């Protein structure tokens, strides 16, 4: 079930069809064509669970498929930027590159972005396009911050006598690329099953806040990064998606709310509080938002 309502800047919820027909306020929060594009992007009309849906938490996907929910149009704009980027690339493939083709198997379906001679003369390169934040890129590139003792102490103030530290960046951390890697690897698997040879895989990540100081403080000094992605075992991929698809199918058939999403899928609860489209219909998220009831040990064990 797609989103049925928009959340106005005032906090008021209004049906999307009503909003597009006539705004209740003296002036729209966005141009009408932009709002129409937002509404269109929310209704994908794909029956089977997609790769991106199965990578997300099963409860999140279930709630988005079965319950009415509201979205802030502004929160969808970054996704629209990504769609626009996909369209620009698709218009410039010039025949030697495959683009935006949806493939499917008996588990799921996925639409890869680019395949072919996208970097050099190698015909077997699979590429995925991302528009993301400097924070996400920092983690994806394995950049982290450490406090380094300067050898000096504060000579006055509340910290008098305490050691002084400065923040330095390190570039040898673990790359947090799991979701991106799972996604592009399953596209690889679908392509290889269709007879295509994949020699390498890359993410082209565009940093949406590259010009801001916060990006520089995170070690992000370019607007575009090409990130190589390693292969994941075909056996592991198949079992992972079969498991997630089975859980979702069972929940849909029995109309039973699945267990809460894992800690990673919840982004340590940040997604539940601010980003999950199904949070209004999720008891776990509502308890976090209202802080009326602590989360039990049992529920934490279910999300592990």
The pLDDT profile of the chain, 304 residues, written as one tens digit per residue, is 678 899 998 888 999 999 999 998 889 999 999 999 898 888 777 778 999 999 999 999 999 999 888 888 888 887 788 778 878 887 787 777 898 899 999 999 999 999 999 999 999 999 999 999 999 999 999 999 999 999 999 999 999 999 999 999 999 999 999 999 999 999 999 999 999 999 999 999 999 999 999 999 999 999 999 999 999 999 999 999 999 999 999 999 999 999 999 999 998 999 999 889 889 899 999 999 887 544 443 343 333 3
* Number of C-beta neighbours around residue 239 at 10 A: 11
Cβ(147)–Cβ(166) under 8 Å? yes
* Number of C-beta neighbours around residue 234 at 10 A: 14
Which residue from 154, 153, 134 is spatially nearest to 145, judged by alpha carbons?
A: 134
Write down the residue that tokens 């000096």 correspond to.
Answer: 152
Say which CATH topology domain 77-242 has. Lambda Exonuclease; Chain A (3.90.320)
pLDDT at res. 304:
32
* Domain definitions of the chain by residue range: 77-242
* Number of C-beta neighbours around residue 5 at 10 A: 18
CA–CA dist 255, 250 (Å, integer): 8
DSSP string across 177-196:
-HHHHHHHHHHHHHHHHTT-
Calculate the dihedral angle through the C-alpha atoms of 251, 252, 256, 258, rounding to the nearest 10 degrees: 40
CA–CA dist 193, 203 (Å, integer): 21
Cβ(264)–Cβ(249) under 8 Å? no
């Amino acid at each position: 079930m797609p989103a049925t309502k928009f959340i106005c800047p005032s906090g008021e919820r209004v049906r999307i069809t009503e909003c597009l027909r006539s705004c209740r306020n003296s002036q729209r929060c966005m141009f009408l064509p932009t709002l129409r594009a937002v509404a269109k992007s929310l209704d994908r009309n794909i029956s089977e669970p997609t790769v991106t849906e199965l990578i997300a938490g099963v409860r999140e996907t279930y709630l988005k498929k079965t319950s009415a929910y509201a979205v802030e149009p502004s929160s969808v704009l970054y996704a629209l930027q990504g769609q626009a980027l996909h369209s620009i690339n698709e218009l410039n493939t010039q025949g030697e590159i495959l683009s935006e083709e949806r493939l499917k198997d008996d588990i799921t379906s996925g639409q890869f972005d680019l395949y072919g001679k996208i970097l050099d003369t190698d015909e077997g390169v699979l590429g995925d396009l991302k528009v993301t934040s400097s924070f996400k890129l920092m983690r994806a590139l394995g950049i982290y911050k450490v406090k380094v003792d300067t050898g000096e102490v504060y000579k006055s103030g509340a910290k008098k006598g305490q050691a002084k530290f400065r923040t330095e960046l390190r570039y040898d951390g673990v790359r947090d690329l799991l979701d991106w890697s799972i996604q592009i690897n399953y596209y690889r698997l679908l392509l290889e099953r269709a007879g295509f040879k994949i020699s390498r895989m890359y993410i082209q990540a565009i940093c949406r806040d590259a010009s801001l100081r916060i990006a520089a403080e995170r070690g992000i000094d370019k607007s575009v990064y090409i990130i190589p992605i390693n292969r994941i075992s075909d056996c592991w991929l198949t079992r992972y998606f079969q498991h997630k698809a089975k859980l979702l199918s069972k929940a849909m058939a029995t109309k039973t709310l699945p267990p809460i999403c894992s800690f990673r899928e919840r982004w340590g609860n940040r997604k539940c509080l601010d980003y999950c489209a199904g949070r209004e219909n999720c008891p776990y998220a509502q308890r976090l938002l209202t802080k009326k009831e602590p989360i039990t040990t049992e529920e934490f064990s279910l999300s592990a």
